[in-house]
Amino acid sequence: MKIKISSKVTEKYPELEVGVVVVKNLDNKKDSPEIQQLFRQAEKEIRKKVDSERISEMPVIAKWRQAYKSFGAKPRYFRSSVESLVRRVLKKELPAINPIVDIYNYISIKYLMTVGGEDVDKIEGDLILDFSNGQEEFVAIGSIENEPPMEGEIVYKDDKGVICRCWNWREGDRTKLTEETKDAVVVIENLDSDESQKLNEALEETKVLLEKYCGASCEIAILNKDNLEKEIN
């Protein structure tokens, strides 16, 4: 299978980069105090730097808000994953979920970038970032109800339906990462070409942590307007 970006998306967002970490032979069952220690430290740093009353003015969050508005999603109701995570961290410590999710949440907070992940074995066909036709099936994590996206909404989807709505707002239940996950794909998104080096650093640290704490083998790639797809099998 492949992970792809539609050329229609890169035409509208020419600076877009989607960093990909292909993860194989993952051990996602072992609790790691070291991962939690990293995350607690990142939380402390965010609380030092971020004013809870001015979150929407942070450059990366303002950029994502602008992107959401451009395809009709009101940021007041649909928040990028990094904005949601920052808001949660400012209120309380986040609970551990499983090692790969804890690692990518740490990366998201440390680098202030949107990060997500999917279980490759649960994806049907290719995984593509594209505009929705408004008819695809979507069931959010923890739900059993179908909540189809808006027509023209940017989504990650496969042959069966939407995997993540509103770009990175809400993950689907079908392909979520669990303790049983063995093969996965982690994506780190960047809308600002001036932040490309930060994206590279975030990808490299993700790879190092997954190999160190989860025994995985990892491969990194970056998708953009000049490189629209990556084989992930």
The C-alpha atoms of residue 188 and residue 195 are separated, in whole angstroms, by 12
The pLDDT of residue 37: 94
Interval 102-118 mean pLDDT: 97
> What pTM did the predictor assign?
0.96
**CA torsion, points 70, 76, 79, 85, in degrees to nearest 10?**
150
- Closest of 190, 122, 185 to residue 158, by C-alpha: 122
Helix (H, G, I), strand (E, B) or coil at 40: helix
CA distance readout (Å), 71 to 14, 108, 132, 173: 15, 23, 10, 24
- List of domains in the chain: 2-231 (3.50.40.10)
pLDDT digits (tens, 9 = 90+) for 142-170: 999 999 999 999 999 999 999 999 999 99
The C-alpha atoms of residue 173 and residue 142 are separated, in whole angstroms, by 7
pLDDT digits (tens, 9 = 90+) for 208-232: 999 999 999 999 999 999 999 999 8
- Closest of 28, 185, 175, 188 to residue 98, by C-alpha: 28
pLDDT band per the 50, 70, 90 thresholds, residue 173: very high
pLDDT band per the 50, 70, 90 thresholds, residue 25: very high
pLDDT band per the 50, 70, 90 thresholds, residue 76: confident
The pLDDT of residue 30: 84
